Structure 1
Amino acid sequence: MLYQGSCHCGKVAFEFEAELTGIVRCNCSICSRKGALLCAIPQETLQVLAWGDDLGTYTFGNHAIAHRFCRACGIHPFAEDVGEGGERSAYVNMHCVADLDLSTLPVFDFDGRSV
């Protein structure tokens, strides 16, 4: 199914195709502060439709994940693997996806603090 989403102000917009069977709650220091519920997808399936100069990047720790955010409204709609090697993923903040009832999806806890 095709999903579309954006930051709060709409300056960063994206779409992706996925079969949603559940969402992930990560307890790492940034995801727990954002309250993000995530869906991991192959990075090439995430299509960023609008960003201009409004898409910022934040990394920390080993800098393997680029946490993207809107410079205008501050919302973090997704993150991306930027490390070397391996298959890369994108991690969509499901709170930013339009017309999605998150209560219908099971939530899986991921111990990101230990990674």
Structure 2
Amino acid sequence: MIYKGSCHCGQIAFEVEGELTQVADCNCSICSRIGALHWFVARDALRLLTPESNLATYTFGKHVIKHHFCPKCGIHPFGEGTDPSGNRKAAVNARCLEDVDLSSLPVMHLDGRSR
């Protein structure tokens, strides 16, 4: 299935293809503050519909995850990194997807604070 998503103002818009069967709630210092519910997909499954130059990016700690956000409205629609095997991944903020009933999805809790 293809899902459409965006930041609040629409300056960042994207499509992501896959089966949304669960989301992850991470307790690391940034995720707990922004309240994202992550859907992890292969980076190739996410396609930007707006220019990449519209993204602002923040990294911290080991600087291995690129947390992308909109410099206009401040919403964090997705991040990028690699999994332990070196595969490129995207962490889509499911709260930014259109027509998704988040209450119907199981939530996996990630202990990012301990990493």
Q: Does the TM-score normalized on the shorter chain lie above 0.5?
A: yes
Residue 8 of structure 1 pairs with residue 19 of structure 2: no
Identity value in percent: 55
| 2:62 corresponding residue in structure 1 | 62
| 1:76 corresponding residue in structure 2 | 76
Which letter does structure 2 place at the counterpart of 1:27? N
Counterpart CA distance in 2 for 1:114 and 1:89 is 21
| 2:105 corresponding residue in structure 1 | 105
Counterpart CA distance in 1 for 2:48 and 2:113 is 28
Which letter does structure 2 place at the counterpart of 1:21? T
Structure 2 counterpart SS, 1:40: strand
**Number of residue equivalences:** 115
What is the deviation of 1:53? 3.6
Unaligned 5+ residue runs, structure 2?
Answer: none
Counterpart CA distance in 1 for 2:111 and 2:23 is 14
| 1:20 corresponding residue in structure 2 | 20
1:78·1:93 contact (CA, 8 Å) conserved in 2?
A: yes
Counterpart CA distance in 2 for 1:21 and 1:98 is 15
Unaligned 5+ residue runs, structure 1?
Answer: none
Counterpart CA distance in 2 for 1:81 and 1:52 is 16
What is the deviation of 1:100? 0.5
TM superposition outliers: structure 1 runs of 4+ over 4 Å: none
**1:66–1:52 distance in 2 versus 1, CA, 3 Å:** closer
